[in-house]
Copies of this chain bind each other. A is one copy, B any other.
Amino acid sequence: MSSSSSTSSPAETIARAAREAFEASQLVDPEKRNDALRSIKDVLKENKDEILAANEKDMEAARPLVESGHLSSSLVSRLSLSRPGKFEAMLSGIDEVVALPLPTGKTTYSKELSPGLELYRVTCPIGVLLVIFEARPEVVVNIAALAIKSGNAAILKGGKESVHTATLLNELIQRALGKTEFPSTSIQSVATRSEISSLLAQERYIDLVMPRGGKALVQSVKDQTKIPVMGHADGICAIYVDDEVDEGMVERVVLDSKLDYPAACNALETLLLHETHLKSLWPRLAESLLDSKIVLHLDPSTYSSLPESTRSNPLVKQAGPDAFDTEHLDLELSVKSVPDVRAAVDHINQHSSHHTDSILTTSDAHSSYFVRGVSSADVFINASTRFADGQRFGLGTEVGISTGKTHARGPVGLEGLCIYKWVLKSNEKDGSVVGDFAAGKGKTYTHKDLKGKEAPF
């Protein structure tokens, strides 16, 4: 009767329904998941006008907020589903997921423990996912498709800016699931922020929380829950230009990493230069960066190595105390010189967000040192940091990027929504018991590799 029980109760109902949907869906033939995805695509297609009308409501509500400065115009542009091709791209995203191989039911370990007793490790879905995301409403469709393909249930919470669109998309997805063997509550959505806090307390029913958004969102979620969090956090990505380098690639790779999409989490934020480059390569590179309107935050050595004519450019600044711990997400770059690859690795391990860091070098010894030493999800050699992406990696649609150190790391595809179970099967007439393996009881463990033998299910 208290206000707290009246707010927590709907969250528990939703979470329990998701758990039950997950459990029921395990008993449906996994091959039917693609049929469910096609059914969702059909229903969305049939209701395009209704969806675009709901989206227009969200856009209308957003416009005054942009004018008053409460919402950014870039956020509103991500909100729109009516831009040419956007709706169709959302639907073809479903086709892409249909085309991916099933991530579950794969045998990844098989061993005979003793004759007649066989152990298998088989991939399976995690269970109930809580996905929290910001503006883009098509994420509802994207995550629903990934969750269904991997056999998970999902509870989705979008930004309040996209509430009309997201709510309708979810209704349509549930309507489509209603025509299949999968429970329609396999995918549910919630609309208000207060529901999130209550859902984060449902550790009995929810197995994984995925906040897709900035560092603040990830931190706030971690602060509130005991459920494991797979965070798609910020990216303070660095490039280290080694002393042994093919100078022709430096400008090309640095500019691509910085300019291709400066607001992305895999964009370059920190440039580390071997000090041998201060005299010649660096002044030329600085001019190119400035030509591209990039603000440079320079440590004392890189600053003082520039000629007065360059230093007088208003885009050239001396690095402040936080320059190397800042994700600029804009046309800004922090630059520093280091005496060797070891110092570069040390700097990156201390300051990077363990997302993506790249070395430019011709030295196998230095690249090997860098790869072993840098404790980041993605460690690149002579390549732009912008390659850090599930599509580019060939993983298919990505769930997001994880900078965590457990479960999944870097671009996370369908595999990241799966775990495994151990299946032990006795083929002995009177079953298998550990007592038979006690000293003098005759049985011994053979632990014979079954060389990829598939679990018989």
A154-162, A176-184, A432-440: which lies at the B interface? A432-440
Query: Which residue of chain B has its CB nearest to the CB of A246?
Result: B429
User: Which chain B residues lie closer than 8 Å to A373 at the CB level?
Assistant: 23, 26-27
A431 to B228, Cβ gap below 8 A?
Answer: no
Instruction: Check if A379 is an interface residue, CB within 8 A of chain B.
Output: yes
A434 to B111, Cβ gap below 8 A?
Answer: no
User: Which chain B residues lie closer than 8 Å to A107 at the CB level?
Assistant: none
CB contact list, A218-234 vs B, under 8 A: 222-223, 226, 228, 230
Instruction: Check if A41 is an interface residue, CB within 8 A of chain B.
Output: no
CB contact list, A364-408 vs B, under 8 A: 364, 367-369, 371-373, 375-384, 386-388, 392-394, 404-407
User: Which chain B residues lie closer than 8 Å to A425 at the CB level?
Assistant: 367, 380-383
A393 to B381, Cβ gap below 8 A?
Answer: no
B253, B364, B430, B437: the one within 8 Å of A246 (CB): B430
Instruction: Check if A211 is an interface residue, CB within 8 A of chain B.
Output: no
Instruction: Check if A319 is an interface residue, CB within 8 A of chain B.
Output: no
A431 to B249, Cβ gap below 8 A?
Answer: yes
Chain B nearest CB: distance from A449 CB in Å?
A: 9
User: Which chain B residues lie closer than 8 Å to A392 at the CB level?
Assistant: 113, 434, 437, 445
Instruction: Check if A423 is an interface residue, CB within 8 A of chain B.
Output: yes
> What are 17 A-to-B residue pairs whose CB atoms are below 8 Å?
A26-B373, A26-B375, A27-B372, A127-B375, A207-B405, A207-B406, A248-B429, A252-B430, A253-B433, A367-B457, A368-B457, A378-B424, A379-B422, A380-B424, A407-B419, A409-B419, A411-B422
Given contacts A371-B457, A382-B428, 4 further A-B contacts (CB under 8 A): A26-B372, A223-B226, A248-B429, A380-B426
